Amino acid sequence: MPGNDDEFGLYCHGKAMEARERLTPVRQLILDTVPDVSEGRVHFYLVYYFGGGAVAKLHLDAKQQVNITFVTGEDLADPSKLLKGSSVVRTIKVTSDAFLEKHRSAIADLLGQSFTLISQRFEGSETFVTLRPDQPSP
């Protein structure tokens, strides 16, 4: 189910076209970087998961900025200092197209690291649960 356009469409349903346009290139970077992930909706997020764990979560915050959240954030090497937060979970705020282009390589590296960690931690697990197609994104 990688790159499930139905899930993306359901997540974007009711959101402004500008929001979808901001989400699309970040989503594509995730799918290009970690093509073995699946995509599903969980709560307020589009979740990119492998086995039983979330590699990354993509969502719009209250200001309609695109965020990439890493559940494994605390364990990722981040020499570019893109990850924000003080808990285990860390987030990158993609504030503009220019920010995405400037940090594309560093973001891709973080996605790759997260995929490796999740692959190791949840090897053989297939227990991740996403929203049903009839459940709207909040």
Of residues 100 and 136, more confidence is placed in 100
Q: Span 22-45, mean pLDDT?
A: 92
What are the structure tokens assigned to 94, written together?
């993609």
- How far apart are the C-alpha atoms of 132 and 135, rounded to whole Å? 5
- How far apart are the C-alpha atoms of 106 and 29, rounded to whole Å? 11
Question: In percent, how much of the chain has pLDDT > 70?
Answer: 85
Question: pLDDT tens digits for 38-50?
Answer: 899 888 898 998 8
Is pLDDT of 75 > 70? yes
Full set of structural domains in the chain with CATH? 5-121 (3.90.1150.200)
- How far apart are the C-alpha atoms of 39 and 119, rounded to whole Å? 15
- How far apart are the C-alpha atoms of 73 and 76, rounded to whole Å? 5
Host H or E run for residue 94: strand 90-94
DSSP assignment of 10-62 equals HHHTTS-HHHHHHHHHHHHHHHHH-TT-EEEEETTEEEEEETTEEEEEEEE-T
What are the structure tokens assigned to 48, written together?
């990119």
Output the pTM of the full model. Answer: 0.85
